[in-house]
Structure 1
């Protein structure tokens, strides 16, 4: 059994129930000293319930888990009956408890898991389970409730991803979006298996070579000030002197399959992101034969140096040559083999240099061909960042993030409406966890939030208010994003993620009309304990792991 990770501890450090349920009576007062309790079942234990209770620090009788490490002062515990009720919405649940007995009704395994998380939090707040008198009806506001982690600019070890899955699941988030490729690094193993007969490329170089680079250290981030208008991050880092170089590495195919299985048991879907047409200088570095005259860098016979600068928008591949399309097809086929056909993210953002040199028509055509390729290979749905919206159809998703240029964003929103595609809102003014919390912090950027982004700034957001009323049904959810220009390792990641992810989890789950900042601040101790902001954050800036 894995011990609680830094991420789980950070996600559960608050004393109250987060996210708040749809309707609730009888929930006990929050307490900082959490109790561990025993839950038994009238019939065979429900493994989703067992898993959720374990995540909350409890045990369940007759389970297959080794919980010998736990000691329980209360031996009577609570007896739970789990019932199937097809009338309850997907992921929803109804939970009642009285006199040491409880009934959890749901129509799905995810609903059982989420109901047990709520029960687990309630059990932490009482000395005797028999005193619980709960009546809770609950379901999520959005179907897509996610967090994106950029492991390309700076690698996170595999065990840290498992911890992030646990933390996300404990907050009833159901998506972990992995940004696996960027200019600075390639983070997934690729083999030559399935390579076309005419294709002689050694694709293993992508991880053998591409995983050995990462973002440069803070004192020399490498922004191109002369082309400041081309980059949304070029003026954002005032001082980063203690930030060390990014961490290098990659995930094996076996590790990724283990992660997917681990996450699925906690009702978290792993969505891989492979960047096109830009944000992929690492491909030209690892496979220099693709650095032809139509690419952003050309191999003159000495290879293509690694890109470690923080500057964005400088790279793109040459989509006029067959070899680039062989690469794209091979990598997407291997991605499908690992992650399955449900969903892939193909990037599409910040292709500044490509747009400047080749024009928007070439960009739109390339993105349309890439989306078509992904579907032909077998992916059910493709997500693109907002710039690629014209390539999408009704089965796909657009992820909006940059709302600074109102006229441009209005056009993108109109295009999304016309395509009928699903919308994921990652409004950087509220959901970008790479933004500084305090301007005095060394970790973080400020391009989207010049005054910093507080937990309250994340919480007060209504994601559908960014769109016209006729599009609200297209908005399937929200996603917090942690980019890693300044993040080095697990402690720095937790430092940036919490407590703002608690706020976004409630934005994603709880009805807009029932959310109240003061109530949330009380449940998370942000109001009664001003130092909680620092208590959640686990490391000094720049600490490597």
Structure 2
């Protein structure tokens, strides 16, 4: 308190991305993280809270002297503790909402569920100096500003997509990307696992898909694929960070890798050669053959068992060599297969004219019939190419990326409102926002990172923060403060001239 005994004065807005629903920091000493700090959780906390506590302890490793511990029944948190607490009174914030209170002698993160505690930890992380991301710098004082944050997401689906088909990314690189998604409270990772240039997951009932279909990529490199054990491990790793993997097997188009692996998927019974170029629209499954639907069922069954999230993405885009009536019948038959396997179907906007179940999700990327799906009670993911396609060049001089949808810099990714973006798709029909990253020009992890960041941080704020609270100028100031954090994490990010970066 000040000399007059009044309430503490408000401090400058914190550099937290996405912007919390409500935040009030106050002047004063704040909370110091050091060897005397303890991470504690309630005696009867769910096992998932142990996982969040362990992740916080790993973040603070070298600064905090002891591992997390459970309090005894009736025991009060000790002084200088960080207390992770489940509180049913916060149900109104949803399972991803949280309340964070920072005082000089204690930090409390409270939520109705483990996802909310996890996101509260991410906010605490961003309130700490960027040095917390760099183990070698943890000898210094880590101070958290005093104040209170109450927060909840605007949209349920906040995601990114990685195209690992045109250029393959090893599982370790995908895990690193998951870590970065979690930092910005993104909760979906859509993996584009098949395309003309490569099939990227082992299917035991159709082994040539990975062996032959996964043997190359754009430009003729060696390709690669995830074994079933690797994909299951990826899904578990992501789930521990509250990121759901959404597997996509694109069909009936974008299927040359599958067609080259099994002649019977082709109408003429002849397997085409493997393809390493970047054209689209030339391949299609033989949709009038019943054996093709047995193939689809096997693929959905095997992948669905590995990835225990409720979604299966079937692609459905850019099918240029199939009569429209055949295409619609295919989508409807595949929808029945996906639903029979206990999954909720997701598809690109082209599927919208089909007879879709209201639980099926349409992903908008270019002008389409998404409004038709919304009108019948369906939900839509917004991925407008001219706003959130991360493979679009951020400026005309960029060596990586494409520009068929125009240049997309940070402000383009930030300055739009999902509630009003698409005519006929009101906010209630918007499930969320996803930023796809196609990989025609991206070869290695550092390429993917350069195109994803910092634009993905802008997308995260669009998806999480209240629309009325978002403003470009304050956002770019907060984003500037994330330069040192991204650098400490070793992220190869694009230093957009729109942002006054701090070094």
TM-score by structure 2 length? 0.83
Q: Does residue 378 of the first structure (1) align with residue 381 of the second (2)?
A: no
Counterpart for residue 388 of structure 2: 431
Counterpart for residue 263 of structure 1: 238
Counterpart for residue 327 of structure 1: 295
Structure-2 change in CA distance of 1:286 and 1:346 (3 Å): same
Counterpart for residue 288 of structure 1: 263
Candidates 420, 424, 428, aligned match of 1:473: 428
Candidates 317, 327, 332, aligned match of 1:349: 317
Candidates 91, 94, 117, aligned match of 1:112: 117
Candidates 214, 217, 220, aligned match of 1:211: 214
Measure, in 1, the Cα distance between the counterparts of 2:115 and 2:58. Answer: 14
Candidates 50, 54, 63, aligned match of 2:53: 50
Q: Does residue 172 of the first structure (1) align with residue 140 of the second (2)?
A: no
Counterpart for residue 146 of structure 2: 133
Measure, in 2, the Cα distance between the counterparts of 1:144 and 1:325. Answer: 29
CA RMSD of aligned residues (A): 2.9
Counterpart for residue 498 of structure 1: 453
Task: Confirm or deny: 8 A CA contact 2:200 2:226 kept in the other structure.
Answer: yes
Task: Confirm or deny: 8 A CA contact 1:48 1:113 kept in the other structure.
Answer: no
Q: For structure 1, list consecutive stretches of 5 or more residues without a partner in the other structure.
A: 1-14, 66-75, 193-202, 217-244, 404-408, 541-545
Measure, in 2, the Cα distance between the counterparts of 1:267 and 1:26. Answer: 27
Aligned to 2:419, the other structure's residue is in SS state helix
Measure, in 1, the Cα distance between the counterparts of 2:33 and 2:41. Answer: 23
Counterpart for residue 470 of structure 2: 515
Measure, in 1, the Cα distance between the counterparts of 2:101 and 2:430. Answer: 32
Measure, in 2, the Cα distance between the counterparts of 1:129 and 1:491. Answer: 29
Aligned to 1:261, the other structure's residue is in SS state helix
Candidates 76, 90, 101, aligned match of 2:106: 101
Counterpart for residue 8 of structure 1: none
The number of residues matched between the two structures is 450
Task: Confirm or deny: 8 A CA contact 1:52 1:120 kept in the other structure.
Answer: no
Counterpart for residue 89 of structure 1: 93
Aligned to 1:344, the other structure's residue is in SS state strand
In the TM superposition, residue 344 of structure 1 has moved relative to its aligned partner by 0.2
Structure-2 change in CA distance of 1:54 and 1:504 (3 Å): farther
In the TM superposition, residue 98 of structure 1 has moved relative to its aligned partner by 1.1
In the TM superposition, residue 47 of structure 1 has moved relative to its aligned partner by 2.4
Counterpart for residue 365 of structure 1: 329
- Written as runs of structure 1 = structure 2, the 5 A alignment for 1:311-322 is 311-322=279-290
In the TM superposition, residue 134 of structure 1 has moved relative to its aligned partner by 1.4
Counterpart for residue 122 of structure 1: 127
Counterpart for residue 350 of structure 2: 387
In the TM superposition, residue 514 of structure 1 has moved relative to its aligned partner by 0.8
Task: Confirm or deny: 8 A CA contact 1:56 1:121 kept in the other structure.
Answer: no
Candidates 422, 427, 431, aligned match of 2:379: 422
Task: Confirm or deny: 8 A CA contact 1:187 1:250 kept in the other structure.
Answer: yes
Aligned to 1:523, the other structure's residue is in SS state helix
Question: Structure 1, residues 207-260: CA drift from partner, whole Å, max 9, x if none?
Answer: 0111102112xxxxxxxxxxxxxxxxxxxxxxxxxxxx5551000111111111
Task: Confirm or deny: 8 A CA contact 2:378 2:429 kept in the other structure.
Answer: yes
TM-score by structure 1 length? 0.77
Aligned to 1:390, the other structure's residue is in SS state coil
